A and B are shown apart, each in its own frame.
Chain A
Amino acid sequence: MANKYIIHGATINGDGTAATEALTPGGVGAWNTITYFEGTAPAFGSLAAGDTVYIRSKTSAGADITRAMSGAVSLGSASGTAAAPIVWIVDAGTVWSGVTGTLTYQASAGTHTTTVLANNIIDQGVQGQLVFLCTLATTTSITGGLLVIQAGAVLRKPKIDTTARTSTSPITSTRVYGVLDSPLFKAGKIGNNSNCLIRFDSDVRGVVINPDIELQATPTAGMAVFYALDAFGTIVGGRIYGSGATTGQELARFNATNAKLTAMGLIYPKTMTAVDPTGAAQTFEFQAIGADGEGGGVFANAYGIADSRDDGNYPTLNAYLPGSAAPWSWKIYPRAATLVDPFYLASAKVFVDTAASKTITAELLLSDEFAGLNKSNVWIEGCYVDNSTGVPTAFGTRDYAGAALDTSTAAWSAASYGAVSLLKRKLAVTTPTAIKPNTLITLRLCVAKTSASDNDILFFDPDFTLS
């Protein structure tokens, strides 16, 4: 495992083993061409698994490097292995003092896809030194994606610039099959339905860490930031912001295959639509935690969506975030829930009282416009541990006869949400036997009626009571 060096444009090509320019061809000194970063075998010296290659971020003449693509480009070397990947570092003054430039891959046609090869790690001293720039404005599609990170590849701190896009019809997605760490996205119009800005597909678990995504163009329906096709994508941290991060901009879409997206700590405006299920399979699932910069969550599947954003101004009752004075509740929109496929939302608490039979009560607020809700299509079911036997024991409130939901006088913070008036209701069941102390009571709210309009919503206090 050795350090190698590239100074693009150096007069003489060395063997890559030193950061200075070589005095003789093949002599000790830096390689003099960026093509070795693009898969060309070095003319002198060698590139082996586990090597670290430092790339001077300006040419020997002092200019930033712009690679005008004429076709697809692959970055990295096939010599890397999973155990010993090759590391490429675009230097920001550590090796070459005072030299902090940029290396840009400029895509201007439909075949200009840049691929980061497996078993290669590409890093840079400062975020945005390595730039993937798309200059296409309208209809031409980069059908393979603007940038592809293969499984087993890691790309750190790049800048992906598609601000030139003014039309939604072209495809300029970044396809993540490996790890994309701390990318800076500057996005114009986002591409069409199955591509979007960042795409996960092919039954691979791609990961995007701490993305900084600025959306600069007016949103267009159907053009989401993330798209998952037969894949499981994970986004950790990061933020979405900008003039385009607003009403009409969708966060995620899925296609008609098994797909799941999880966003842990990704902050995005509450005005954005979390998920549009159009075209998604029945098995898709979306989860987000911390979308509001606090502890708020979002959960969506084919049957409904629930969110608990702290900035949603939802009516609250008993539940508080751990270690916080911030109350919270779930807002539920059962957009496609039915008797066959209800929308479920889980909760749980530890029973810390002395052993006793208890009445478990879940408090709800229902839109007064949401017709037809009763105990057959809104219920709770769950499980407690029997104090005598130690056996998990089920409970439930479902009444197939469809009795009316019990009214409630719970002191919610509000009985309306915007223009929607809310009715206080509750679901309660008394355990037939004593609950074992210091055991978990699990419960889930089940909603089996489809919303007929955007105002057909419910609020659920997850801190169910025991009395």
Chain B
Amino acid sequence: MPTFRATSPTGDVSQYDAETPDPTHLGAGWRLEEIIVVAPAPEADPPPPTVYEGRRRLTHQEFLNLLGVAFVPILALAKQSVEIEAWVMRFQVATPDESGYPINLDDPLTIQGLNALEPILVAQGVVQIGWAQGVLNG
């Protein structure tokens, strides 16, 4: 049932619940409000954890830290695959841009490479599913 709050021309305030408002309160000089409580929004999912406070651009060292235990296995894979070697080399030659950092977690090639490496590393038992997203979370 709606809740109404009526303020008279002299400033007296009354509040009541009714299906429809008192017609008097729609008259000249009256202020009539319908008070509607806003339902609370559903609790949002907590943001993913980040290591560098959400910063998307990193130093070489910070990126290696995010790779974690996968760093050495990736280097081993690079010796077997030219594509993987080329991907690794991109990071080696990356230089800082205007942000001052050389590594960009939002670069499509970074994302593509990590996602391509994950199943290989999972199959080797180096990491678990979700590793690539964890790196990309920053």
Contacts and interface: CB of A to CB of B under 8 A. Distances in A.
The 5 A-B pairs at the shortest CB distance, nearest first, are namely A71-B40, A63-B34, A66-B33, A63-B32, A64-B33
Given A61-B20, A63-B21, A70 B37 contact: yes
Contacts of B38: 38, 67-71, 73, 105
Contacts of A39: 41
Contacts of B31: 64
Contacts of B33: 63-66, 102, 104
Interface in A240-270: none
A70 B41 CA distance: 9
Given A61-B20, A61-B21, A66 B39 contact: no
A25 interface: no
Interface residues of B, number: 17
Contacts of B35: 66, 68
Nearest to A62: B26
Contacts of B4: 63
12 contacts: A9-B34, A38-B38, A63-B32, A64-B32, A65-B36, A66-B34, A70-B37, A70-B38, A70-B40, A73-B38, A73-B41, A104-B33
Interface string A167-196: 000000000000000000000000000000
Interface in B1-48: 2, 4-5, 20-21, 26, 31-41
Contact of A68 (B21, B26, B32, B36): B36
B55 to A, nearest CB: 13
A316 B32 CA distance: 57
Interface in A1-24: 8-9
A41 to B, nearest CB: 13
Given A61-B20, A61-B34, A66 B2 contact: no
Interface of B: 2, 4-5, 20-21, 26, 31-41
A61 B6 CA distance: 13
B88 to A, nearest CB: 33
Contact of B2 (A9, A38, A72, A104): A9
A7 to B, nearest CB: 12
Contacts of A73: 38, 41
Interface of A: 8-9, 34-35, 38-39, 59, 61-74, 102, 104-105
A59 B32 CA distance: 10
Given A70-B38, A74-B41, A104-B33, 6 more contacts: A61-B20, A68-B36, A72-B41, A73-B41, A102-B33, A105-B38
Contacts of A8: 34, 36
Nearest to B37: A68
A61 B2 CA distance: 10
Contacts of A69: 38
A409 B21 CA distance: 79
Chain A CB count within 10 A is highest, among B2, B26, B34, B39, for B34
A429 B38 CA distance: 71
Contacts of B21: 61-63
A244 to B, nearest CB: 24
Contacts of B26: 62-63
B14 to A, nearest CB: 13
A77 to B, nearest CB: 14
A68 B33 CA distance: 11
A434 to B, nearest CB: 44
B9 to A, nearest CB: 15
A95 B33 CA distance: 21
Nearest to B18: A61
A280 to B, nearest CB: 24
Contacts of A66: 5, 33-36
Contacts of A38: 38
Given A9-B2, A72-B41, A74-B41, A64 B36 contact: no
